[in-house]
Chain A
């Protein structure tokens, strides 16, 4: 797993209080990991902070799973 993927996973485990084994690429933040709309906003902000990127709202809306987050960040992280 890439360094970015590891970091994404640990942020999700920390913020959503889930087990690392649940954080699979297919897992949806809201459907599988128990996040509500505010949790999801917080996750996006944590990704922005951790990876020093700015994720526009219209793109954030397309990040709904662990895999989508990793893919976006691997492309955009500085």
Chain B
């Protein structure tokens, strides 16, 4: 059976840089930081008191109050971003068979605030269980894809992938594969996270994973800078409509890009630390390139995982260098997490959107907040520091890795015949 070709026909985004795809791109292309003081809870006793929050979001603009109450913020973000992509792709105008439309979403954690609030309420009581009947269906990570399907009547394959910060690259790769294999014609995919809560910040602080640069939040996320000290937690969602190429052509859909290939691997090394040898990352890159049928010199842009942690950034770059050889010097590399912060299970999705928009606009979004070169990194690499660079991007590769040692890499290309 010949595999079908898969294209991207719609995008959606609600991010710390803006709550539409256009606003997100505006922030990315101008090199804006999405970081600021935490407003979602009183963080005064926390080691980290800033994050990249979504701004100006009001649930009442999108949900009836009774309905919105039943969705954790991560699900709200999912529905809002998916709605944008669905509307753009024209999936609800009656021209698409909804039995052939699936939803494969990604979330690293799910409804963390809901979980926290319900457990705290129980602990404050006298031991009598008074859990809200919506507790479980609000908290479970898979409910995001459930809500999207219920809202639009999409009855194709439906589930959520969980692989920490790689979750929504896994969801995109799954969507790609299920369409390639003919399980669905269209899949709404992407990912979302809303973990800026006491448990989220406190938990990542305990892991020493977060930047603690409280006096300079906007410059705290500084991938590849010598003085990087951890990631900045972000929140939000990215959505992509993946579609069988022939199906998209037949209905005259706008085609942003083709999904050329994907790779998945494991470090099999440590809970949270990357394998310093980069074996898992080399595996995933080679798998993605092979799946896409391309060589390293075909790639114009790599949107790296680059979270701004001391260990992770260097390990990823060294692995890319081993796989790409001298071709790495012709690449643009950037970590858009320098602007958006780290959306965990939403990261792969918003970075896929960023990679596709870079192709669309022939502009590589920057790695902002670069002050001091890291002597451990090859100075000949182009990290697109501080300012976007004009460049025709025909093929972009997006890396995302998760705690647990999950590695994913997705390749997008401009549609060719």
- How far, in angstroms, from A54 to B126 measured CA to CA in the complex? 13
- How far, in angstroms, from A34 to B65 measured CA to CA in the complex? 13
Q: Mark B123-135, 1 if CB is under 8 A from A, else 0.
A: 0000010101110
- Total A-B Cβ pairs within 8 A: 23
B368 to chain A, nearest CB (A): 42
Q: Which residues of A contact B133 (CB under 8 A)?
A: 38, 41-42, 45
A54 to chain B, nearest CB (A): 8
Q: Which residues of B contact A39 (CB under 8 A)?
A: 66
- How far, in angstroms, from A45 to B118 measured CA to CA in the complex? 13
Given A17-B64, A17-B66: A45 in contact with B134 (beta carbons within 8 A): no
> Contact: B66 with A16, CB < 8 Å?
yes
**B53-103 at interface with A (beta carbon < 8 Å):** 64-67, 69
Minimum CB distance partner of A40 in chain B: B133
Q: Which residues of B contact A15 (CB under 8 A)?
A: 66, 69
- Asked whether any CB of chain B lies closer than 8 Å to the CB of A48, the reply is yes
Q: Mark B112-153, 1 if CB is under 8 A from A, else 0.
A: 000000000000000010101110010000000000000000
A53 to chain B, nearest CB (A): 12
- How far, in angstroms, from A42 to B64 measured CA to CA in the complex? 18
> Contact: B130 with A49, CB < 8 Å?
yes
Interface size on A, residues (CB 8 A): 12
Q: Which residues of B contact A49 (CB under 8 A)?
A: 130
B interface bracket (residues with beta carbon within 8 Å of A): 10 to 19
From A17, A42, A54, B134 is in contact (CB under 8 Å) with: A42
Q: Which of B67, B128, B132, B133 has the most chain A CB atoms closer than 10 A to its own CB?
A: B133
- How far, in angstroms, from A42 to B132 measured CA to CA in the complex? 6
Minimum CB distance partner of A41 in chain B: B133
- How far, in angstroms, from A22 to B128 measured CA to CA in the complex? 33
Q: Which residues of A contact B134 (CB under 8 A)?
A: 38, 42
- How far, in angstroms, from A38 to B143 measured CA to CA in the complex? 15
Minimum CB distance partner of A44 in chain B: B133
- How far, in angstroms, from A45 to B67 measured CA to CA in the complex? 18
- How far, in angstroms, from A54 to B64 measured CA to CA in the complex? 30
Q: Which residues of B contact A48 (CB under 8 A)?
A: 130
- How far, in angstroms, from A42 to B136 measured CA to CA in the complex? 13
Contacts A/B (CB < 8 Å), 23 sampled: A15-B66, A15-B69, A16-B66, A17-B64, A17-B65, A17-B66, A17-B67, A17-B69, A34-B66, A38-B133, A38-B134, A38-B137, A39-B66, A41-B133, A42-B132, A42-B133, A42-B134, A45-B130, A45-B132, A45-B133, A48-B130, A49-B130, A54-B128
9 smallest beta-carbon distances between A and B, as pairs: A17-B66, A41-B133, A17-B65, A38-B133, A42-B133, A16-B66, A17-B64, A45-B130, A42-B132
Known contacts A38-B133, A42-B132, A42-B133, then 20 further A-B pairs from the complex at CB < 8 Å, ordered by chain A residue: A15-B66, A15-B69, A16-B66, A17-B64, A17-B65, A17-B66, A17-B67, A17-B69, A34-B66, A38-B134, A38-B137, A39-B66, A41-B133, A42-B134, A45-B130, A45-B132, A45-B133, A48-B130, A49-B130, A54-B128
